[in-house]
């Protein structure tokens, strides 16, 4: 079955960096776009970033554009999110998700917690 | 880009039907047939309920249906059950610049 396991979260002070990873299995990883969606405590879902099946096209939300970079390694079935210049408002549970086409996300990981605090 | 607009709450009794709206603009909901709906129970990851406006993934009950008219999409839950109590989010493709935009979420309470 489809599984996505996130890692790399933690507690960091403002201005620092973190790199999230999401290892996928159970489907042909290299055939699907992948995305990161975050959820701040007690808040709704916010789309963060996505990339095409081959990584040639990348997309970012306004709040992270220029600070975050998404990438993938199809040989390792893994998608990454490099987060630089972190701010308190980036504190959230970060989900990786598989794209089903047309921007719908049909499988989600369990979430990786990122806390930005001094 | 602003979030899609959903009512913060909705409710119904078991067996009843409830409809949740999701209003966007011609740049997102109204411009593409790429509206999705997700269900999220507390402490759990979101689950895809509807994609491409009105299509159900395998395993999603027929009780969940959806439609779109202009810039507003709607999710209807028929024959409400206790396990339907959850948060519901709509999303839409919003073009190359913003790709995906979510609604603020609706908390559905089964009375």
Question: Residue A100 has what pLDDT?
Answer: 92
* For residues B97-108, average pLDDT: 93
A chain contacts of residue B95, beta-carbon cutoff 8 Å:
none
- Give chain A positions within 8 Å (CB) of B89: 44-45
Facing B48 at nearest CB: one of A59, A105, A111: A105
Residues 17 through 76 of chain A touching chain B, CB cutoff 8 Å? 35, 37, 44-47, 50, 59, 61-62
Q: What are phi and psi of B92, to 5 degrees?
A: -145, 150
Asked whether the beta carbons of residue B36 and residue A103 sit closer than 8 angstroms, the reply is yes
Average pLDDT over all residues of chain B: 96
Is B69 buried (19+), middle (13-18) or exposed (0-12) by CB count in 10 A?
A: exposed
Contact between A103 and B3 using a beta-carbon 8 Å cutoff? no
3-class secondary-structure state, position B82: helix
Mean pLDDT of B83-91: 97
**Considering just the CA atoms, what is the radius of gyration of chain B in Å?**
13
pLDDT of residue B54: 97
Q: What are the φ and ψ backbone dihedral angles of B45, each rounded to 5 degrees?
A: -75, 150
Q: What is the pLDDT of residue B1?
A: 65
């Amino acid at each position: 079955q489809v599984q996505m396991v996130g890692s790399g979260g933690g507690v960091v002070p403002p201005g620092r960096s973190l790199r999230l990873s999401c290892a996928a299995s159970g489907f042909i990883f290299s055939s699907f776009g992948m995305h990161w969606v975050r959820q701040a405590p007690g808040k709704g879902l916010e789309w963060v970033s996505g990339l095409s099946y081959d990584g040639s096209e990348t997309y970012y939300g306004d709040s992270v554009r220029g600070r975050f970079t998404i990438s993938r390694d199809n040989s390792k079935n893994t998608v990454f999110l490099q987060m630089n210049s972190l701010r308190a408002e980036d504190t959230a549970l970060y989900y990786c998700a598989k794209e089903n086409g047309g921007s719908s996300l049909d499988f989600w990981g369990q979430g990786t917690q990122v806390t930005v605090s001094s | 880009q602003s979030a899609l607009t959903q009512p913060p709450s909705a409710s119904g009794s078991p067996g009843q039907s409830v409809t949740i709206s999701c209003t966007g603009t011609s740049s997102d909901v109204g411009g593409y047939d790429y509206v999705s709906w997700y269900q999220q129970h507390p402490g759990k990851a979101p689950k895809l309920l509807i994609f491409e406006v009105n299509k159900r993934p395998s395993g999603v009950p027929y009780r969940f249906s959806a439609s779109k008219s202009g810039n507003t999409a709607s999710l209807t839950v028929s024959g409400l059950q206790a396990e339907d109590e959850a948060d519901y989010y709509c999303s839409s493709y919003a073009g190359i610049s913003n790709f995906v935009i979510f609604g603020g979420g609706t908390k559905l309470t089964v009375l």
